[in-house]
Chain A
Amino acid sequence: MSKCELEVVFDRDDRTYRPGEPVRGEVVVVTDQDVSCKGLTVELLWQTHGAGNTDRTVLETLALAPGPWSPGLRHRYPFSFTAPGRPLTYHGHFLNVDHCVAARADLPWALDPKVCEEYLLLPGPESYREHLATPVDFTVTPSATSGAAAKAIGWLLLPVFLVLLAALLVMVLPLVLVIGGVVLLRRWFAERRLGRVSVEVNGPEVGQPAEPGVAKSVASRLGVIARPFTPRAITPGGEVRFQVRFQPRTAVDVDRVVVRLAGTEECRSGSGTNAKTHTHTLCEETSVLAEGVSFIPGVPMELTGVLPVPDLEAYSFRAHNNALRWKLVVEIQVPRWPDWKRDHPLAMVPGPEAR
């Protein structure tokens, strides 16, 4: 069997590119026999690797029709792609996100030789603005959308599904009420003493804020939401400022008011009953705003804090099996009473001075 080797060579030795820059290079083919190739495909893609299942997206494809390859010669096929804006290269514990140029030669009656070489995509001058415009979420892909027939069947089956769901709910309603009540009313119980607690995180918002009308209707139904949450942006090496406000309804002793900044990698491997989620904490910074205090009823309180953001290029990322999440966890610990706790999503984005 003939030996056919492919190699991807980038025009930059350090293989480092910024969003929008041209990713240029050439695919070099060497064979030890005369080979007639049916096609040479070059792809620009990103993929995850590590403990989780692979998420992979091909961004651009270049189909070449090479002539016959002769032995001893280095056949060169130049390529030029545009470096995407995101996701940026990330190498962590369980999660790695890498950009690659992959080439595959279609050989008749032989295994197709292929090669995949990584390049580094680092933040550029536009990255800050681009990351603020929309969250980095690759869980929705055009290929995942249903066709017209699937949608029609879905709509036809919806009433059946709703009836079955209603029947199921009636059967397990008491259990749902008990468990749901404990979970949902936990914060309500806490607010019976603490009053309405609002948390404000400073910083630019990421993506479009929720429609005001929607936010209002949700607030009126649940009764405790002061304002819609949109992720706030944090940048490596920066800081996150926040305020916790409440007006106690009764005299209340508080063990601690704690705010925690946490960054975690979450990767899912396997599927079905073998599915497993691997979680790795990148950073956990805690600020104790108050400890062992008694609050006076009716006196509005505002606790202000600031936490340093680690200088990690661990930008927020979400795909089907892998995610890198940042959040601010606010917890008010009341002795002998349900604690008040809420997570605020944050989005780690490249700083405006990146490059």
Chain B
Amino acid sequence: MKHRPWVFIPVCEGNAVLSRLGPVLRSGPYSVGPGYTRPVPVTLPYARLNLRRNPFGELGPEERAAIAVVEADGLAERLQKPGLAVQILGGCGCGKTTWLLALLRGFPGAPFVKVVEGVRTALPAGHPLFVDDAHLLPPTRRRRLFGRRASFVLTTHVDLAAEIERCGLAAFTVRPAETQDVERLERAFALRVEAARRDSGPLPRVPRAMVEELVRRFGSDVRSMEHCLYHAFVTLGGVRDVEV
């Protein structure tokens, strides 16, 4: 293969580069890239939508529980006595923790533990005990836990009913994914928007057709729906129906 002739090309003052690949080196640097959006004046957050924040941003546990749409009729009463384990069962993002936090709201001061993978989490005494991600506990620790004279509310990815009953507790299973329907989701989304309200007056709306589209797209994964709506609210220009 015949090479191109070597040529010196100035790069910057006092320096040159020997090149044989043709005049591809620029005499000065050039820029590429998508650029950036022009700055906008700093105003109150989401004031254009009559909101204080993005309604589908991350909420603190208290706020999340306050606006949860769950129907736990009679469960709180049954949990008053020891001997019951309520397992909230489902896949990622279906609303297990929201269910648990909503129940926890009815028991101020009750112990709550979030189990983290690979970390030995202390399980405090108390009744009822709320455990998030109970499936991450080793089986031996779970058995010891269920041996306590207390009631439990657990979120889990795997069905622990048999294990619970072997330990002499009554098991009650809640499957948030099965209780989700378009109407309930529409109500839940409307509550989130309402919770972020700034002033009186109209607010953006997540219409029924949009909720149906989200259910088609994400099934029972509410977290992914919220993430999608977060992006929609970031770009929403004014108070109107949301489009994804």
Contact = CB atoms under 8 A, between A and B. Distances in A.
A52 interface: yes
A269 B58 contact: yes
Contacts of B14: 302
A104 to B, nearest CB: 13
Interface in A20-64: 49-54
A230 to B, nearest CB: 24
A96 B44 CA distance: 11
A285 B24 CA distance: 20
Interface stretch (A74-82, A130-138, A177-185, A293-301): A293-301
Given A274-B92, A294-B18, A304-B12, A91 B45 contact: yes
Interface in A282-326: 282-296, 300-308, 310-313
Given A289-B29, A306-B29, A273 B133 contact: yes
B26 interface: yes
Contacts of A253: 21
A98 interface: yes
Interface string B25-37: 1100111111111
Contacts of B182: none
The range of chain A's interface size is 35 or more
Interface string A66-95: 000000000000000000000001010100
A286 B33 contact: yes
A89 B42 contact: yes
A306 B12 CA distance: 12
A294 B29 contact: no
Contacts of B36: 282-283, 285, 310, 312
Interface residues of A: mostly helix, strand, loop or mixed?
strand
A307 B31 contact: yes
A221 B24 CA distance: 39
Nearest to B44: A118
B116 A273 contact: yes
B76 to A, nearest CB: 18
Given A49-B54, A284-B34, A301-B15, A272 B60 contact: no
Nearest to A282: B36
A305 B28 CA distance: 8
Given A272-B116, A293-B17, A304-B12, 17 more contacts: A51-B58, A118-B45, A236-B39, A253-B21, A267-B58, A269-B58, A272-B115, A272-B119, A272-B136, A285-B36, A288-B30, A289-B11, A292-B21, A293-B19, A293-B21, A310-B35, A313-B42
Interface of B: 6, 9, 11-15, 17-22, 24-26, 29-39, 42-45, 52-54, 57-58, 60, 92, 97, 114-117, 119, 133, 136, 227, 230, 234
11 contacts: A49-B53, A51-B54, A89-B42, A91-B43, A272-B115, A272-B117, A272-B136, A274-B133, A290-B11, A291-B26, A294-B17
